C-alpha cells in the first residue's frame, strides 16, 4: 500500500501538516504536497471511477498529464469539478470528492458496465441506440448522461474573482525545467525582455529527480544557479503556477496563472489570464511518459515510472512497499534506483528488450535488483489494487512464466516530447524511428506574418532527452530567439550516463490474444482499449481523426497526453501502416484546461457589462424605479409607489400626463450634430423627408431607412443654424446611426463638407409633458415659453431657473410638451428643481412604459415595435414623411421595387377588441379563407398592445394585409389554449386625432 | 461655473495605486483637416499641434490628437465659450467645427509608486504599457468601454471615457488597483 516515507521529499515541509478531506474522510498531508501525493501518503490509492466502465482507478502520473485522478474540489455549492489531484496544491482545509461513482467510490453500481463491456464497444451508442428514434432523447441519452460523466457542476454562482493581464515580451519561454531556464537566461543575457512561465510551483523540472544519486547535489546547484542568474536580470520576469495554454497567430499567447488556488484569500483573484504578445516563443515543455498496454494496466497501483520517482523524491511518498518495474527503456531503471535508495523492495525490473546492458541497468544489477529481459506482463493481479504481476515472454501470447507478489507497478513505455504548444500554430512534426516518438520538425515551424518562424522549441520537447543535451540545445535556441550569442558562463549541467535505445512495445505480450487486448487500456479517462482501436480499424476507420472521434481516444480532459502515441501505434499496426503514415491528431489549445472564470476575467457581478447611466440615474434609483434595459442604458420602466404594482404605476403615470403633467428622463436619446456647408444635402439623403428646407429654430420629425428601403431609425431634427442640424435618434440607435453617417461620409461622399459629432452624453434631456407643463416651467422663471414665442415644433435657447437650456416644443405623448436640454453636469440639478416645482401641479415622473402607452394612444410608431427590419415607412402610413420632390434619399430606389409596392403588403392599422380585452403582443390574425394548399392564412400581426388607461380599454397597433382598406372589418386572433380574440380594424390614432392637445 | 457635477462626485479609491475621479474641466471637440485645425487653433490656443497619437500639454491646457481629422482641447471650463468663438472666427472660410463637449466625459487620474498606475491599466487595456511614453495618447478600450489615456510627466495617468459609463469604469479600475493584486510584471 502507498505510504509516506519516513524521510525525503524535497518539496514538502514536514513541520507544516495540512488537514484535508477526501470523500468526507479527514486526512493529513504536508505543505508542499499535491493532493495526489497527500492521498498516496495517506494510503489512498483508489481515487476515481473510469468514464464508461466505472473501473476503479488510481493515480497514474504526477503532473498535468494525469488521466485518472480527477476530483471535485470545494463544497457542493461552489464545486470545481474535474481538477487533477496531481496538479492541485494542498492547503489546510481543502475538500475533495471523487467523481463518477454511485453510491460510493468503493461500491459503485456502474461497475456492472464491466460485465457487459462486450456490448459497449467503440461507437456503441451510434450502433445501439438508433431505434426507436424518439428513445434517444427520452430514454438512452438521460441514462447515459447520468452514468457516464465527469464531475458535477457547481450549484451556485462562482464567488471567486478573476482578472486579465495584458503583457508583451520579446521572448516568452514556456516551461521552467533546465531547458526553459537555460533558454530564458540565454535570451535574457542578450538584453531582451523575457517572460518565463512554469505551470508547476517549482523550477527545475525533472533535473534533480532524474539525476543519479551522486549528481543530485550538483543538479540542485545548477537549478539554483540558473535561477539566481535569471533573477539578477532586470529584463526577465519569472512566473510559476502559470501555464502556457495556447499559442496563436501573431505571437499571441494565452497563459493561465493560478494566483491563489494554493492559498485562498479574500480580495485576491483566484486565477489571472495573461494575454501576451510575444516576438518569439520558446517551447520548453519537456516530455511525457507513456504507459505500456498490458492486461489490467489500469488497476490502481500501476503508475508511470517517472511519476513514481517524483513521488519518492519530491514528496517522500511511495506507491507501495514492493514495486515491480516494467519497461522497454533504460530510463525506468532510475526509478528502480530511486526506490531502492528509499528502502523500498524492487523484486524485479521486467524489461521487454532482449538485452539491457546499458549503464543504468548495470547500476540496478549492482544494487541487487533482478533484471528480467525479454519479459513482459501477462496480467496484473488484483481487484481494486495491484496484488501481483504474472510475467510471460514478451514474444509470446502470454503464457505465464512467473508470478511476483507486489503492491505497485512502475511502468515506462518511453517518453514523448510534449509538442502541443509547438503544434498549436501549425508547427509540423516528424517521426523519430529510433526513439519511437514524434518531435518538432525545426524546418516546419509556425511562421508569422513575415514568413519567419516565431515559435522555437528546445530540450526534451525537441527530442533532446538528456539534461546536458537539453541545456545545450536550449542555450542555442534561447540565444537565437533573442538574436544574441550563447553566453559563455552558463551553469554546468551534471553529466548522465549514456542510455541504450528503447524498443517500441505497443502490445505486451506481443502476441496477446483478444481476451487480453480487451483488458489493455490506452486512454484511461475515456476507457478506450486496444481492442476498441482495432475494432475501429476493422470497421473501416482509416483516418486517425475519425478513429479518435469514433473511439473517443484522446478526447477526454487530458486530451490524450498519455494515450496518443500508444493509440496511434495500435491503429497503425491494425491498418498495417507505419506510425508516421497514420499521423497524429491535431493538437489544439489549451495545453491543459483553464477555468471559465479566468476567461470571464473581471466581467462578472457589477462589472458584467457596462451599464450606461444618465445624470438622473441615482434619482430614479432612490425613487425605487423598476428598470428596463435599453441598449446598454437602464431607463426607469415606471416608478411604483408603496404597494403599487408596476401595472398600476403605469396607469397612474399615463393619467398624470393626460390630466396634469409628467416628467421623463429623455437623456438617453441620441443627439448627433451634423454641420457643414453640405449638411442640408446630407440630411436630405439620410432622411426620407425634405430636411434642408427646415428653418433655423424649427424641428421636424424624420425617418431614416437603410439602402434597402427598410425603416431603421426615427427622431426629431432641429435646425440650429444655416450649416447645422441636430439629429435626435432612438436610444438604441445613437451609436449605430452615428457610425452610419460616418460610413457614408468617409466611404461614399468623402468630398462632402460635413462634420458629425455624437453629443448624446454632453446633454441631459428632460421631457415635461401634460396640460400643466408650461405652468411648471414658467414657475422656474426665465425664457418666454408662450405658444407665440415658442410654437409647436419650434426650439429656443434661453434660461430656466438660471440654467442655460435649449427647449424643444415637441411631443411624443400628444400633450403639451417641452423637452429641455441642459449640460449633463447640471441636468440633475435642473431635474430636482423641476420636480420640486411640479409638486404644486400634481406632476409625476413617468417611465418608458407610460411613454409607450401615451404614444400608442396617439398612433405614433416605435422603432423596434412597429418596425422589425422588414417594414418600410409606406407600410406604416408614413407617406407624408416621404418627400416626393427629392431626387434621392437612402432607400428610395429600394422602395420602388415590386415587392415594396405590392398592394397586398401588411400595413399599419389600429385594433379595437370587441370586448375591450388586451391582445397579446405579437398575436397573429388569420383569415377565414384557406390558402391554395388548404392551410389557414395569416393576414396580420400585433406590433404593439396595451391597456389604455385614458380610454379604459385594450388598444393595439397591427400590420394587416391591405389594412387601411379594411377599416371597420373584424378579424380574429387565435390565442393558444383560449378562445380567439376578435378585433375591429380602426385608425391607429385613438386619442385626439386632430392633434389639438399638443398644439396649445 | 462650479455647479457642474461630475458623474461620480469625485469618487476615490486607494489600492496599490490611487484612482480618483477628477473634475472634467472644459473640453472642446474639433473636427476638420489637420492643417485647417492647426491654423484655426494657432490664433486661439497657445499650444503646438500634437503628433499623431500624442497630446501636448502646457499648464492647464492640453491638445490631444484623436483621429486624423479630430482633436480634443482640454482647458479651464470658463475659457470654453470664448475659445470656441475664437477658433470658429479664426477658421474663417476653412471648414472647422468646434463644439463644447465639457460634460460628455468622465476623467480619472491614476497615481502611485513605480509602475503601479501602468499596471492598473495593463489589466484592462490591450496596450503595451511598457512602451507608452509621456506625451503619448492611446485610444483603446477599458475592459468593455471605449477610453483614452495618457501619462503625465509625474507618472500620473489620466483616463477619459464617456460619462454614462463612469461608474463602470471606476468599478473596473478599482478592482484592478486592489491592494494585494500587484503583479510587478512591468518592473522588468
Among chain B residues, CA nearest to A753: B95
Shortest CA distance from B175: residue in chain A:
A602
Q: Do A762 and B31 touch (CB under 8 A)?
A: no
- The chain B residue lying nearest A231, using CA atoms, is B188
Region of A407 please: left (phi>0), alpha (psi -120 to 50) or beta. alpha
Owning domain of residue B37: 26-100
Check A762 against B102: CB less than 8 A apart: yes
Q: Choose among A607, A759, A763: nearest Cβ to B143.
A: A607
Neighbours of B182 (CB within 10 A): 17
Q: Mark whether B20 and B110 lie in a shared domain.
A: yes
Question: Nearest CB to B164: which of A601, A607, A761?
Answer: A761
Within a domain: residue B5?
no
Domain boundary, last residue among B68, B100, B132: B100
A167 interaction partners in chain B (CB closer than 8 Å): 122, 185
Coil, strand or helix: which one is A338? helix
Q: At CA A227, angle to CA A222 and CA A231, rounded to 5?
A: 150
Tell me which of B36, B87, B103, B178 to substitute to probe the interface with A (most A C-beta atoms closer than 10 Å).
B103
Asked if residue A344 lies in contact with residue A315, where contact means CB atoms within 8 angstroms, the answer is no
A810: alpha, beta or left? (left if phi > 0; alpha if psi -120 to 50): beta
Question: Does A613 lie at the interface with B, CB-CB under 8 angstroms?
Answer: yes
* Same domain as B84, residue B59: yes
Identify all chain A residues contacting B66, using CB atoms and an 8 Å cutoff.
Answer: none
Can you give the pLDDT at residue B156?
Answer: 96
Q: Do A673 and B99 touch (CB under 8 A)?
A: yes
Distance separating alpha carbons of residues A495 and A472, to the nearest angstrom: 12
Task: Find, among B27, B117, B97, B111, the residue nearest to A725 by Cα.
Answer: B97
| Chain A residues with CB-CB distance to B180 below 8 A | 265, 267-268
Tell me, yes or no, whether B116 and B163 share the same domain.
yes
One domain, residues B154 and B171: yes
Q: Which of A855, A813, A847, A865 is nearest to A988 (CA)?
A: A855
| Contact between B100 and A762 using a beta-carbon 8 Å cutoff | yes
**Residues A371 and A348: beta-carbon distance below 8 Å:** yes
pLDDT of residue A269: 95
Q: Which residues of A205-236 are buried (b: 16+ CB within 10 A; e: fewer)?
A: bbbbbbbbeebbebbbebbebbbebbeebebb
Residue A613 has its nearest CB partner, among B5, B167, B183, at B167
CATH of the domain at B140: 3.30.1360.120
**CA-based angle A162:A168:A170, to the nearest 5?**
145
* Gap between the Cα atoms of A437 and A431, Å rounded: 6
Chains A, B: CB contacts within 8 A come to 135
β-bridge partners, A195 = A172, A237
Cross-chain Cβ contact A759/B104 below 8 Å: yes
Nearest CA in chain A to B185: A237
Quick check: helix, strand or coil at residue A197? strand
Q: B1: pLDDT confidence band, cut at 50, 70 and 90? A: very low
pLDDT per residue as tens digits for the range B34-84? 999 999 999 899 899 999 999 999 999 999 999 999 999 999 999 999 999
pLDDT at A146: 63
Cα–Cα dist A646/A664, whole Å = 17
Q: Are B108 and B175 within one domain?
A: yes
B112 lies in a domain?
yes
B-chain CB neighbours of A609 within 8 Å are: 144
B34 lies in some domain: yes
Q: Residue A673: its chain B contacts at CB < 8 A?
A: 97, 99
B127 touching A (Cβ < 8 Å)? yes
Instruction: Tell me whether residues B126 and A275 touch, CB distance under 8 A.
Output: yes
Residues B96 and B108 in one domain: no
- Domain for residue B169, yes or no? yes
Do the domain assignments include residue B187? Answer: no
Task: Answer whether residue B117 is part of any domain.
Answer: yes
Q: Please state the separation of Cα A371 from the chain's center in Å.
A: 51
Q: Give residue A129's pLDDT.
A: 63
Across the interface, whether the CB atoms of B128 and A268 are under 8 A apart is answered no
Domain co-membership, B42 together with B87: yes
Yes or no, beta carbons of A762 and B103 under 8 Å apart: yes
For residue B47, give how far its alpha carbon lies from the nearest alpha carbon of chain A (Å). 23
Domain boundary among B69, B100, B131: B100
In a domain, B51, yes or no: yes
Q: How many domains does chain B have?
A: 2
Residue B1 belongs to a domain: no
Q: Where would I find the H helices in chain B?
A: 34-42, 80-91, 116-122, 166-176
Shortest CB distance from A757 goes to which of B7, B29, B103? B29
Those of residues 270-289 in A touching chain B at CB distance below 8 A are 272, 275, 277
Chain B stretch 64-93, residues whose beta carbon is closer than 8 A to a beta carbon of chain A: none
Same domain? B19 vs B48: no
C-alpha cell at A295: 492486461
Return the pLDDT at A101.
73
> Which structural domains are found in chain A, ordered by start?
1-157 (3.10.20.440), 162-288+416-481 (3.50.50.60), 291-413 (3.50.50.60), 520-580 (1.10.10), 665-854 (3.30.1360.120), 903-1000 (2.40.30.110)
- The answer to whether B37 faces chain A, any CB pair under 8 Å, is no
Q: Does A761 contact B at CB distance below 8 Å? A: yes
ipTM here? 0.97
Binary contact (A757, B176; C-beta < 8 A)? no
For residues B18 and B30, membership in a common domain is answered with no
Q: Are residues B76 and B129 in the same domain?
A: no
* Last residue of one domain, picked from the residues B79, B100, B121: B100
Q: Which of B103, B143, B187 sits opposite A603 (nearest CB)?
A: B143
Which 133-152 residues of chain A touch chain B by CB within 8 A? none
Candidates B105, B125, B171; nearest CB to A606: B171
Beta bridge partners of residue A248, listed in sequence order: A252
Q: What angle do CA A419, A423, A428 make, to 5 degrees?
A: 95
Domain identity same for B55 and B113? no
**Which residues of chain A carry a pLDDT beneath 70?**
102-103, 109-120, 123-131, 140, 143-149
Whether the pTM exceeds 0.80: the reply is yes
Distance separating alpha carbons of residues B32 and A275, to the nearest angstrom: 37
Tell me, what's the pLDDT at A77? 77
Residues B12-29: pLDDT tens digits?
999 999 999 998 799 999
CA distance A187 to A484: 7
Task: Note whether B138 contacts A: Cβ–Cβ < 8 A.
Answer: no
> To which H or E segment does residue A565 belong?
helix A564-575
Q: Are residues B136 and B112 in the same domain?
A: yes
CA A182 to CA A243: how far, in whole Å?
Answer: 18
A720 contacts in chain B (CB < 8 Å): none
CB contact A828 to B (< 8 Å): yes
A761/B145 CB distance under 8 A: no
Instruction: Specify the CATH number for the domain of residue B88.
Output: 3.30.70.1520
Amino acid at each position: 500500500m502507498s505510504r509516506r516515507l519516513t524521510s525525503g521529499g524535497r518539496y514538502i515541509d514536514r513541520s507544516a501538516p495540512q488537514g484535508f478531506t477526501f470523500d468526507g474522510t479527514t486526512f493529513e498531508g504536508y505543505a508542499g504536497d499535491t493532493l495526489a501525493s497527500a492521498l498516496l501518503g495517506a494510503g489512498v490509492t483508489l481515487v476515481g471511477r473510469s468514464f464508461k466502465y466505472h473501473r476503479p482507478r488510481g493515480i497514474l502520473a504526477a503532473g498535468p498529464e494525469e488521466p485518472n485522478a480527477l476530483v471535485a474540489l470545494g463544497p457542493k455549492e461552489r464545486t470545481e469539478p474535474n481538477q487533477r489531484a496531481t496538479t492541485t496544491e494542498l492547503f489546510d482545509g481543502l475538500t475533495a470528492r471523487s467523481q463518477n461513482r454511485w453510491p460510493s467510490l468503493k461500491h459503485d453500481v456502474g461497475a456492472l458496465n464491466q460485465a457487459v463491456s462486450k456490448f459497449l464497444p467503440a461507437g456503441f451508442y451510434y450502433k445501439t441506440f438508433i431505434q426507436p428514434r424518439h428513445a434517444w432523447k427520452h430514454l438512452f441519452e438521460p441514462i447515459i448522461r447520468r452514468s457516464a460523466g465527469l464531475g458535477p457542476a457547481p450549484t451556485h454562482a462562482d464567488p471567486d474573482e478573476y482578472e486579465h493581464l495584458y503583457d508583451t515580451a520579446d521572448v516568452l519561454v514556456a516551461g521552467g525545467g533546465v531547458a526553459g531556464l537555460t533558454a530564458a537566461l540565454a535570451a535574457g543575457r542578450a538584453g531582451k525582455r523575457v517572460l518565463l512561465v512554469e505551470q508547476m510551483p517549482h523550477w527545475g523540472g525533472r533535473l534533480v529527480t532524474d539525476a543519479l544519486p551522486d549528481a543530485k547535489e550538483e543538479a540542485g546547484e545548477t537549478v539554483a544557479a540558473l535561477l539566481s542568474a535569471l533573477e539578477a536580470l532586470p529584463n526577465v520576469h519569472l512566473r510559476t503556477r502559470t501555464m502556457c495554454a495556447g499559442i496563436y497567430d501573431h505571437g499571441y499567447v494565452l497563459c493561465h496563472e493560478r494566483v491563489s488556488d494554493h492559498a485562498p484569500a479574500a480580495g485576491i483573484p483566484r486565477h489571472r489570464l495573461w494575454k501576451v504578445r510575444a516576438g518569439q516563443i520558446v517551447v520548453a515543455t519537456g516530455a511525457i511518459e507513456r504507459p505500456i498496454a498490458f492486461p489490467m494496466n489500469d488497476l490502481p497501483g500501476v503508475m508511470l515510472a517517472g511519476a513514481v520517482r517524483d513521488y519518492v523524491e519530491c514528496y517522500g511518498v511511495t506507491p507501495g512497499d514492493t514495486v515491480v518495474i516494467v519497461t522497454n527503456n533504460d530510463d525506468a531503471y532510475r526509478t528502480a534506483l530511486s526506490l531502492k535508495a528509499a528502502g523500498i523492495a524492487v523484486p524485479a525490473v521486467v524489461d521487454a528488450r532482449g538485452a539491457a546492458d546499458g549503464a543504468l541497468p548495470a547500476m540496478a544489477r549492482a544494487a541487487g535488483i533482478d533484471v528480467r529481459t525479454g519479459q513482459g506482463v501477462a496480467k496484473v493481479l488484483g481487484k481494486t489494487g495491484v496484488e501481483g504481476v504474472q510475467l510471460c515472454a514478451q514474444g509470446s501470447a502470454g503464457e505465464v512464466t512467473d508470478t511476483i507478489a507486489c503492491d505497485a507497478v512502475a511502468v515506462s513505455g518511453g517518453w514523448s516530447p510534449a509538442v502541443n504548444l509547438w503544434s498549436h500554430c501549425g508547427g509540423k512534426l516528424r517521426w523519430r524511428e529510433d526513439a519511437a516518438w514524434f518531435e518538432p520538425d525545426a524546418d516546419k515551424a509556425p511562421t508569422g506574418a513575415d514568413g519567419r518562424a516565431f515559435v522555437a522549441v528546445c530540450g526534451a520537447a525537441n527530442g533532446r532527452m538528456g539534461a546536458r543535451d537539453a541545456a545545450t540545445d536550449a542555450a542555442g535556441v534561447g540565444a537565437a530567439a533573442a538574436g544574441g550569442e550563447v553566453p559563455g558562463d552558463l551553469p554546468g549541467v551534471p553529466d548522465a550516463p549514456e542510455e541504450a535505445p528503447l524498443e517500441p512495445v505497443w502490445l505486451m505480450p506481443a502476441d496477446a490474444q483478444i481476451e487480453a487486448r480487451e483488458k489493455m487500456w490506452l486512454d484511461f479517462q475515456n476507457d478506450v482499449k486496444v481492442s476498441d482501436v482495432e475494432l475501429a480499424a476493422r470497421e473501416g476507420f482509416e483516418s486517425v481523426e475519425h478513429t479518435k472521434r469514433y473511439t473517443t481516444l484522446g478526447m477526454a480532459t487530458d486530451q490524450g497526453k498519455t494515450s496518443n502515441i500508444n493509440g496511434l501505434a495500435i491503429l497503425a499496426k491494425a491498418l498495417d501502416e507505419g506510425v508516421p503514415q497514420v499521423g497524429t491528431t491535431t493538437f489544439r489549445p489549451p495545453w491543459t484546461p483553464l477555468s471559465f472564470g479566468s476567461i470571464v476575467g473581471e466581467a462578472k457581478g457589477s462589472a458584467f457589462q457596462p451599464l450606461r447611466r444618465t445624470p438622473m440615474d441615482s434619482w430614479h434609483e432612490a425613487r425605487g424605479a423598476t428598470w428596463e434595459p435599453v441598449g446598454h442604458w437602464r431607463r426607469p420602466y415606471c416608478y411604483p409607489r408603496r404597494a403599487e404594482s408596476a401595472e398600476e404605476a403605469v396607469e397612474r403615470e399615463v393619467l398624470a400626463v393626460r390630466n396634469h403633467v409628467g416628467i421623463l428622463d429623455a437623456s438617453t436619446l441620441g443627439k448627433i450634430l451634423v454641420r457643414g456647408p453640405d449638411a442640408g444635402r446630407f440630411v436630405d439623403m439620410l432622411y426620407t423627408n425634405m430636411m434642408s428646407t427646415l428653418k433655423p429654430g424649427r424641428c421636424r420629425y424624420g425617418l431614416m431607412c437603410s439602402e434597402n428601403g427598410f425603416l431603421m431609425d426615427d427622431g426629431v431634427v432641429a435646425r440650429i443654424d444655416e450649416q447645422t442640424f441636430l439629429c435626435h435618434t432612438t436610444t438604441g440607435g445613437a451609436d449605430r446611426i452615428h457610425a452610419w453617417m460616418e460610413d457614408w461620409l468617409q466611404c461614399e461622399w468623402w468630398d462632402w463638407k460635413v462634420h458629425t459629432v455624437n453629443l448624446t452624453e454632453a446633454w441631459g434631456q428632460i421631457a415635461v409633458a401634460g396640460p400643466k407643463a408650461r405652468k411648471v416651467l414658467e414657475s422656474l422663471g426665465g425664457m418666454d415659453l408662450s405658444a407665440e414665442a415658442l410654437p409647436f415644433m419650434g426650439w429656443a435657447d434661453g434660461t430656466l431657473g438660471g440654467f442655460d437650456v435649449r427647449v424643444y416644443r415637441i411631443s411624443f405623448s400628444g400633450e403639451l410638451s417641452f423637452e429641455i436640454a441642459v449640460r449633463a453636469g447640471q441636468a440633475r440639478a435642473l431635474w430636482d428643481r423641476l420636480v420640486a416645482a411640479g409638486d404644486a401641479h400634481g406632476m409625476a415622473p413617468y417611465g418608458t412604459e407610460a411613454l409607450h402607452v401615451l404614444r400608442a394612444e396617439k398612433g405614433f410608431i416605435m422603432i423596434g415595435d412597429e418596425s422589425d427590419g422588414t417594414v418600410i415607412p409606406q407600410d406604416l402610413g408614413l407617406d407624408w414623411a416621404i418627400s416626393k420632390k427629392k431626387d434621392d434619399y437612402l432607400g428610395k430606389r429600394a422602395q420602388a421595387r415590386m415587392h415594396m409596392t405590392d398592394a397586398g403588403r401588411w400595413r399599419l392599422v389600429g385594433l379595437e377588441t370587441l370586448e375591450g380585452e388586451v391582445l397579446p403582443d405579437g398575436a397573429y390574425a388569420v383569415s377565414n379563407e384557406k390558402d391554395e394548399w388548404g392551410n389557414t392564412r395569416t393576414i396580420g400581426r400585433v406590433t404593439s398592445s396595451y391597456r389604455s388607461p385614458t380610454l379604459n380599454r385594450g388598444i393595439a397597433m397591427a400590420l394587416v394585409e391591405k389594412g387601411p382598406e379594411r377599416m371597420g372589418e373584424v378579424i380574429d386572433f387565435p390565442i393558444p389554449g383560449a378562445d380567439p380574440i376578435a378585433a375591429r380594424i380602426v385608425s391607429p390614432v385613438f386619442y385626439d386625432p386632430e392633434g389639438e392637445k399638443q398644439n396649445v | 461655473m462650479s455647479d457642474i457635477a461630475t458623474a461620480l462626485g469625485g469618487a476615490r479609491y486607494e489600492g496599490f495605486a490611487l484612482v480618483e475621479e477628477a473634475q472634467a474641466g472644459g473640453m472642446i471637440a474639433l473636427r476638420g483637416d489637420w492643417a485647417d485645425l492647426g491654423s484655426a487653433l494657432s490664433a486661439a490656443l497657445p499650444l503646438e499641434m500634437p503628433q499623431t497619437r500624442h497630446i501636448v500639454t502646457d499648464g492647464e491646457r492640453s491638445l490631444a490628437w484623436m483621429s486624423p481629422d479630430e482633436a480634443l482641447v482640454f482647458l479651464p471650463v470658463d475659457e470654453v465659450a470664448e475659445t470656441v468663438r475664437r477658433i470658429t472666427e479664426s477658421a474663417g472660410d476653412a471648414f472647422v467645427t468646434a463644439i463644447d463637449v465639457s460634460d460628455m466625459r468622465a476623467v480619472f487620474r491614476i497615481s502611485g509608486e513605480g509602475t503601479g498606475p501602468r499596471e492598473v491599466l495593463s489589466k484592462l487595456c490591450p496596450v503595451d504599457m511598457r512602451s507608452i511614453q509621456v506625451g503619448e495618447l492611446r485610444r483603446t478600450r477599458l475592459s468593455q468601454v471605449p477610453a483614452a489615456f495618457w501619462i503625465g510627466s509625474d507618472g500620473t495617468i489620466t483616463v477619459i471615457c464617456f460619462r454614462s459609463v463612469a461608474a463602470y469604469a471606476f468599478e473596473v479600475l478599482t478592482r484592478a488597483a486592489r491592494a494585494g493584486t500587484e503583479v510587478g510584471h512591468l518592473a522588468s
